[in-house]
Amino acid sequence: PLVSGAEVVLSAAKAGRGAGAFNVIQLEHAIALIAGAEQVGAPVILQISENAVKYHGALKPIGVATLAAAAASTVPVVVHLDHAMDRDLVTEAVSLGFTSVMFDASKLEYADNVRATAEVTAFCHDHGVFVEAEIGEVGGKDGVHAPGARTRPDEAAAFVDATGVDALAVAVGSSHAMTERTAELDFELIGQLRAAVDVPLVLHGSSGVADADLTRAVEAGMTKVNIATHLNNVFTDVVRQVLAEQPALVDTRKYLGPARDAVAAEVARLLTVLKAV
Ligand code: G3H
Ligand code: ZN
């Protein structure tokens, strides 16, 4: 079923488990992510980013399809709006029935980030929607990797108090869109943030993090772990391989289907690595 962000993220944080959050671009992703979670019986977070909305030209078609897939699942599924900078998009996601939102004003100055995030949080809470925000910008979304960005624990704690957000994305050494799993996480900082901040912590750019470090990050205090690029890699590898082997193939199901199934298997594996089960 479709469940609230609070149900999955807060219970994972309490139990010291990770919560896997994976991005939906095509409908195949939504189906694959749910299938993978069902294989291991774990809850899962399906997230649609503002960038993916720009690709589709609108939120509603992919959003409604993802919500319908979530409603039909046998495991708890959260449908989350990822990296939203546009407040109208937040309003639309809430009205469509998304159960979680990330409002990303991390590019703004601290005081402006606080003001905008507090307003969006109040609106989402009026509608029972879970809110994630970011402090200390995790780079890489614009192709510029910034693995050196760090969130200060005192600023993180003050930000949560001032905004009322339910979960906090922090910069601890990962960077978005890495295709090699070579990120070096600052585990000491994760521990300090865990001690300073009383809401669940979110790791972005986790495609760059190796399996053992994903587990260690959860053990050190991260809860929601966002992985997108790595699964696109898995998906596209299969498409490339099938098309290379069968150059005459034209039925899209014949290469998207195997790619979807490979993503499902990798999600099942990652959920175990993240201690989400
Ligand atoms: O919000 C989404 C993520 O942070 C995913 O980042 O593509 O580097 O795994 P990634
Ligand atoms: Zn991210």
Among the listed residues 207, 203, 211, 215, the one whose alpha carbon sits nearest the alpha carbon of residue 234: 207
DSSP-derived secondary structure letter, 247: T
187 vs 174: CA distance, rounded Å: 11
Query: From the first residue on, what is the mean pLDDT of each consecutive set of 10 residues in the chain (277 residues)?
Result: 98 98 98 99 98 98 98 98 97 98 93 96 98 86 75 97 98 96 97 98 98 98 98 98 98 98 99 98
Q: Which domain holds residue 78?
A: 5-273
Whole-structure pTM value: 0.97
How far apart are the CA of 21 and the centre of ligand 2, in A? 10
How far apart are the CA of 210 and the centre of ligand 1, in A? 14
35 vs 200: CA distance, rounded Å: 26
Examine the predicted complex and report whether its ipTM is higher than 0.90: yes
Ligand 1 proximity of 178 Cβ (cutoff 6 Å): yes
Q: What is the pLDDT of residue 138?
A: 80
Q: Cα–Cα distances in Å, from 164 out to 45, 186, 195? A: 21, 26, 18
Q: What is the pLDDT of residue 141?
A: 74
User: What secondary structure, in 3-state letters, does 56-103 show?
Assistant: HCCCHHHHHHHHHHHHCCCCCEEEEEEEECCHHHHHHHHHHCCCEEEE
Residue tagged 């929607």 (tokens)? 129
**Is 154 annotated in the active site?**
no
Per the structure, the count of domains in the chain is 1
How far apart are the CA of 195 and the centre of ligand 2, in A? 23
- CATH number, domain at 217? 3.20.20.70
Cβ pair 53, 89 in contact under 8 A: yes
As a whole number of Å, the end-to-end CA separation of the chain is 17
Nearest CA to ligand 1 atom 2: 226
* Test site for ligand 1: of 207, 209, 231, most ligand atoms within 8 A of the Cβ: 207
